[in-house]
Amino acid sequence: MDPSKRGVYPGRFQPIHWGHVKVIEWALQRLSELVIVVGSAQESHTLSNPFTAGERIEMIAAALEDAGIDKSRVWIVPLSDIYMNAVWVRYLAMNVPRFRYAIARNPLVVRLFREAGYEILMPPPFERERFSSTNIRKLMLMGSSEWRNMVPPSVARIIDDIKGVERLREIAGRD
């Protein structure tokens, strides 16, 4: 495929929700291929990053399936963080197929790609207050099942399978 029509979409996807899915659809309307970068791959079992990179990859693949997105146009690549923001984009580029565009709204991510000379495609916010992983994790901690309306059904099934809510609530406990 032509790398000049390929974009990268970095995120933590903790977990992937309908807002992320809308961003992916939006990007694929403009590009021929998308590389979804599962950032902070080293993180799991924390309040901000409860799910492992492997679990997040499964959830992303399931979300693409639910949304009827052509998976042959999408790569999913896990990437651990590094301590040097200034060279992060070079490090990311070393680990993913060649690309021209970066899809992001996260201000730090936008800044770093711009400084590195990549073109930014900034998606609109898709119900940003509601469709937010922070909001989803908060609802899970509160014991509300409302989070289920914010993720594709197969993602909710995987979270049930791995007892994700139980994990989050347990690590939020006191000793």
Among 99, 101, 118, 131, binds ligand NAD (CB under 6 A): 131
Does position 88 bind ligand NAD by CB under 6 A? Answer: yes
Does position 56 bind ligand NAD by CB under 6 A? Answer: no
Residue 174 Cβ vs ligand NAD, minimum distance, rounded to whole Å: 27
Cite the beta strand spans of 73-129 per DSSP E. Answer: 74-78, 101-103, 119-121
The tokens describing 39, both together, are: 């950032």
The tokens describing 55, both together, are: 């679990």
Does position 51 bind ligand NAD by CB under 6 A? Answer: no
Does position 13 bind ligand NAD by CB under 6 A? Answer: yes
Nearest-5° angle of CA 143, CA 155, CA 121? 110
Does position 19 bind ligand NAD by CB under 6 A? Answer: yes
Measured CA to CA in angstroms, residue 101 lies from 10, 18, 80 at distances of: 11, 22, 20
**Nearest residue to 7 (alpha-carbon basis) of 111, 113, 131, 115:** 113
Among 69, 75, 93, 105, binds ligand NAD (CB under 6 A): 105
Could you list the residues that contact ligand NAD (CB under 6 A)?
Answer: 10-13, 19-20, 23, 39-40, 81-82, 85, 88, 104-106, 108-109, 112, 123, 125-128, 131-133
